Structure 1
């Protein structure tokens, strides 16, 4: 897929962040865009931004955990536009908590959105992408799909699973000679709402973590991330790292192997101690946003 003009592109989690930026850039490059999110208000804002740029998006409020709904969405897009060339499985959430304190329900919720949402989107769109003769699957993993992080076991599990699932899929497309490219994306710190919309299994106040993330760790804009992803699609890259932090972590983990865990744990310990988080957490929503 050398360019996106007149191609049909579907993006989940398009109500904000990377998903919104992708939708806008794809439309700006002449693609016909289908977007979804479970946040109706955020999705409506993206629709307005697209329409202001002259696009006519296909828009659906969607929970990617709902397998039947995702398949119906894919079929509806194909029926509406006549084909589908690109799916970006981008919707994601995170919930902070150690393995011990995380209830099964929180672990299941993160896996249902971040992993099963990717599986549903991939399987629902794959027949349409194959039929198009020029298809591409983009699955958003994370920098946390490269290394483990304390209090992010569920998110780590989901994002590592996305990585393995996507790498296996790419090989299957190569073995079968299918006209479908496959890319796994590992964003580092992106200025999105995923941490601000997160909660904690132990009811701890994570506002300090969100502040550190916002002030120190989010070096890349969603727009820059979207450009990097689309460049990866054009070049049919199997793996896309977004941000200097993702590149650095990838190099360190590959160089140190499992030995990375001790120094990373020490950094996490110092960060946790410095935050001195209060004991209570006001209710917040858990949105499906870009990972």
Structure 2
């Protein structure tokens, strides 16, 4: 199979573009000459992203949970496109922290509607455009939590495992149909974004009484990758024709544990986390 064309200079769509990885992707690809169509439910953050770019930009306030509005956005993008669409990054995501025992169904539904159904709606809205072109990529953001199950992250893990399964199934369908359109899964590790600070947390599931801000600060202290670095890794992975992109050293650890010890990885991770927290305490 020949190596795909570079994304640089070619149009892309990015959801979740108001901050984090989405903003970093928009900044990177726009700087390389790509026209970017950006969407997010956060209008202020979306406008801030667009204002920092210098190339051609289309912005759309969009709730990815709305399948009909995703279809309308895809039609708007198709009318706006100055050239064939290179890639669609279904990147929008949120977090919930809770034990299964204490889970609130409204919180879980909110997360699943954004993290999984939002990806499905985005894929279904833009896939016909890519298939008609005969090229392009659907790039769906899963997580390292789509590789391993983690305590107090059942809703998030379920959605990210679902994104992984959905995208891998799509990849096989496209291959069997002889299509040159690609389906790519991205598995970021800990990225320094606002996702933990914007998470829904009713109470500390560990029983330690931490506030949401304290829990977010502890998460951020353990992140290993900046949004800009994540964007560079994702861009390089798409350009190299990868079907699955691991982002950050912790992503490679999670992937290795899923392969080597698929039922006992928590013991290894617990030791790693204990050591990292001990180092932070010593500092």
TM-score (norm 2): 0.89
Find the partner of 1:12 among 15, 39, 62.
15
Tell me, yes or no, if structure 1 residue 227 matches structure 2 residue 228: no
Quote the residue 1:178 is aligned against.
179
Structure 1 position 73 matched with structure 2 position 73 = yes
Q: Partner of 2:157 in structure 1?
A: 156
SS at match of 2:119: helix
Question: Which of residues 36, 45, 50 in structure 2 aligns to 1:42?
Answer: 45
Q: Is the 8 A contact 2:41 2:61 kept in 1?
A: yes
Contact kept? 1:139, 1:183, Cα under 8 Å:
yes
| Structure 1: runs of 5 or more not aligned | 273-291
Separation of aligned partners in 2, 1:23 and 1:166: 22
Contact 2:136 2:181 in 1 (8 A): yes
For 1:237-256, what aligned pairs fall within 5 Å after superposition? 237-256=242-261
CA deviation vs aligned residue, 1:15-73 (integer Å, no higher than 9, x gap): 001000101111122211100010111001001011xxx21210000000011011110
CA contact (8 A) 1:182 1:238 kept: yes
CA contact (8 A) 1:137 1:183 kept: yes
CA distance in 1, matches of 2:113, 2:87: 22
Shift of 1:199: 2.4
Deviates more, 1:150-159 or 1:258-267: 258-267
TM-score (norm 1): 0.87
Q: Contact 1:150 / 1:265 at 8 angstroms: preserved in 2?
A: no
Task: Indicate the SS of the match to 1:91.
Answer: coil
**Offset at 1:75?**
1.0
1:210 shift after superposition? 1.0
Task: Please give the secondary structure, in 2, of the residue aligned with 1:34.
Answer: strand
Quick check: 128-137 or 91-100, which moved more?
A: 128-137
Distance 2:156 2:71 in 1: 24
Aligned match for 2:33, one of 8, 30, 34: 30
Which stretch shifts more, 147-156 or 257-266? Answer: 257-266
For the aligned residue pairs, the C-alpha RMSD in angstroms reads 2.0
> How far off is 1:250 after superposition?
1.0
Q: Following TM superposition, by how much is the alpha carbon of 1:202 offset from its aligned partner in structure 2, in angstroms?
A: 3.6
